[in-house]
């Protein structure tokens, strides 16, 4: 039996809406180095056509640790919670304090629950010899409890202060740039997959 062959063009797949990513800057310590790394990260996020980024910085969020919904807490959350809620994915930037991540970051995380659920989280760390990796491992446990998915690859800066010049530019960007691309590629895969899954059926967690 002969099969007819046509030269009709194959339609392009529908355009995919860019992934909404919230970058969470996790340190509020005086003299913090976080804004330097955050600036580098934001350049990578904004340089991709498949991502749209916005920022939540714990230094700008005055949340009590009592979890009492006071007017002050409600006001603080009004500028933060919508950014977390509308995100399809997150990049969380953390230093390492005493083998873990900062209290301000934990407080911000703990004030929210549904905003994290069934969404991917990429983790970027900085510090001394350990590069913040112990903070990352603790965050993986926290986000697992919140039903979020942490992507496998991370970016870490060992002796971070010596890695950047006074203008916030990396002395040798090749390794970090490659690591950031791998991490963000994974974040996009998970972000698109989970966004589609959430749209099709409610998460059962």
- pLDDT tens-digit series, residues 74-105: 999 999 999 999 999 999 999 999 999 999 99
Domain for residue 8, yes or no? no
Domain for residue 134, yes or no? yes
> Residue 5 pLDDT more than 80?
no
Domain for residue 7, yes or no? no
Q: State the Cα torsion 161-162-168-170 to the nearest 10°.
A: -130
> Residue 183 pLDDT more than 50?
yes
Q: In the beta sheet, which residues pair with residue 121?
A: 90, 150
> Residue 28 pLDDT more than 80?
yes
Domain for residue 204, yes or no? no
Rounded CA-CA distance 22/19 in Å is: 10
Q: So what's the pLDDT on residue 205? A: 75
Rounded CA-CA distance 150/144 in Å is: 8
Q: So what's the pLDDT on residue 12? A: 42
Domain for residue 153, yes or no? yes
Q: What is the pTM of this model?
A: 0.91
Domain for residue 136, yes or no? yes
Q: So what's the pLDDT on residue 13? A: 43
CATH number at residue 99: 3.40.50.360
Domain for residue 100, yes or no? yes
Domains identified in the chain, total number: 1
Q: So what's the pLDDT on residue 78? A: 96
> Pick from 43, 80, 42: which is nearest to 60 by CA?
80
Mean pLDDT estimate for the chain: 93
Mean pLDDT of 47-57: 98
Q: So what's the pLDDT on residue 16? A: 80
SS3 1: coil
Give the domain range for residue 182.
19-199
Domain for residue 13, yes or no? no
Which tens digit of pLDDT belongs to each residue from 117-174?
999 999 999 999 899 999 999 999 999 999 999 999 999 999 999 999 999 999 999 9
> Residue 66 pLDDT more than 60?
yes
> Residue 50 pLDDT more than 50?
yes
Mean pLDDT of 169-191: 98
């Amino acid at each position: 039996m002969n099969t007819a062959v046509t030269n009709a063009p194959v339609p392009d797949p529908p355009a995919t809406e860019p992934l909404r990513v919230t970058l969470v800057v996790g340190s509020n310590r005086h003299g913090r180095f976080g804004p330097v790394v955050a600036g580098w990260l934001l350049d990578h996020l904004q340089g991709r056509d498949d991502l749209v980024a916005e920022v939540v910085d714990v230094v700008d969020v005055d949340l009590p640790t009592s979890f009492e919904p006071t007017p002050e807490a409600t006001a603080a959350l009004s500028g933060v919670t919508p950014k977390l809620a509308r995100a399809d994915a997150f990049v969380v930037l953390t230093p390492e304090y005493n083998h873990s991540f900062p209290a301000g970051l934990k407080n911000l995380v703990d004030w929210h629950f549904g905003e994290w659920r069934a969404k991917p989280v990429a983790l970027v760390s900085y510090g001394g010899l350990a590069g913040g990796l112990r903070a990352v491992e603790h965050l993986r446990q926290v986000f697992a409890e919140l039903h979020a998915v942490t992507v496998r690859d991370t970016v870490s800066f060992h002796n971070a202060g010596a890695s950047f010049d006074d203008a916030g530019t990396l002395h040798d960007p090749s390794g970090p740039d490659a690591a950031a691309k791998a991490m963000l590629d994974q974040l996009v895969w998970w972000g698109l997959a989970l966004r589609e899954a959430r749209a099709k059926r409610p998460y059962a967690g």
